[in-house]
Chain A
């Protein structure tokens, strides 16, 4: 896999997440009814960072949950190996406005699986989607509400998101999938 270009550096990621944090507050008119759910694995630190930003802006702590969607995927055994992680949502999602967070939006299948998983946990008032990168190539009618950066890609390219919490470095690169 050959790295072709750096899309976002550490400071860029910080700026993007701050902007998204403001957008979430603006659209929801505050944060009273919000909860964050990060999708395993890099959605979780992103959700935590946005929650931390909002705490700094509004002095309000928003709960953050972890969601693993492996059991809800429709592509296990095709190209995806069943790597199972923990789901830990220690709060009631009933009637909440859920901010669902993931690193890359691609085909939309992960988000569809995440929504199925969430609905099994309770009935939220709404689900809004945050992604750091939207790379296109949707196979399902799914659109993000908050996008860090749109990166039109070819199907042979890969977006690599690296975060301090999981990879010791903050950067987003585009790579050749060879």
Chain B
């Protein structure tokens, strides 16, 4: 099913596809533990990383995933491209395709641009984040991380906290988590909620304190400061009062629960500065926080996806 196809949104995946990706990810996690962290599975293939928006971890993650499968990579960033000379996005993409690449990984600041492109080109595309819309590989790596801790994910309670309105991570995660049978509560005041939140069937709570003692997974969203052309929240103090994670709140969490964040953390906003410091020194606390594991799993999940689409 995945061979030769694009992944633009979570809806492109059936639960069976998700299972296959996660199953393959197990093997790539093992490859990443080896001395030689490279297999020849995609020798001769070329992956183009096309980022119209700044990115560090996602871009590096895709690049290292492709390289560890022995694929060649080319990197395109809009700031140093002919887009600056007025070339259209379709022409730019077609120029890259003419260089005989096999797969495109694309990030763009506008929602839906990838759907527009996928109708016009005949090559698999993986969405590396489009505007406020979707970030499906982040959702997959998050699901994988959750499944590493709780082998059974169906029925798990997840709280997704913060700037839902501007977050493509939140949208993809709600879609995927619900698809896999998890119960999702979005914690956000009304200014962080889009009108269509009801169609997701996610519950809504106004404060982190309403859910923190009930959830198995607490997913802290990054405040999308760069995507807020107007100020969505009155003050950081207000944010801290209703939506931030700190040491006191963490003690209220269930014993066998976990904290996640897509990174990079805005210290002092989503997670308190003091808690971030304690995580580095307190082993018990660190075992509850999976931010670094998410990054490692990101490489393995992307290896699995590239492998399944291109092999």
Contact = CB atoms under 8 A, between A and B. Distances in A.
Interface of A: 68, 70-72, 76-77, 82, 84-88, 116-117, 120-122
A120 B41 contact: no
B254 interface: no
Contacts of A121: 34-36
B27 A84 contact: yes
B36 A71 contact: no
A176 to B, nearest CB: 29
B307 interface: yes
B191 interface: no
A68 B31 CA distance: 11
Nearest to A77: B311
B38 A76 contact: no
A87 B27 contact: yes
Interface string B22-51: 011011001100111011110000000000
Nearest to A116: B40
20 contacts: A68-B27, A70-B41, A71-B40, A71-B41, A71-B307, A72-B39, A72-B40, A76-B41, A76-B311, A77-B3, A77-B311, A82-B308, A85-B27, A86-B30, A87-B30, A87-B31, A88-B30, A120-B34, A120-B39, A121-B36
B36 A120 contact: yes
Q: What DSSP secondary structure best describes chain B's contact surface?
A: loop
A87 B37 CA distance: 13
A87 B3 CA distance: 23
Contacts of B38: 120
Contacts of B311: 76-77, 82
Contacts of A120: 34, 36, 38-39
Nearest to B31: A71
A157 to B, nearest CB: 28
Given A87-B27, A120-B36, A121-B36, 15 more contacts: A71-B27, A71-B41, A76-B311, A77-B3, A77-B311, A82-B307, A82-B308, A82-B311, A84-B23, A86-B27, A87-B30, A88-B30, A117-B39, A120-B39, A122-B35
A116 B36 CA distance: 12
A76 B35 CA distance: 25
A70 B30 CA distance: 13
Nearest to B34: A121
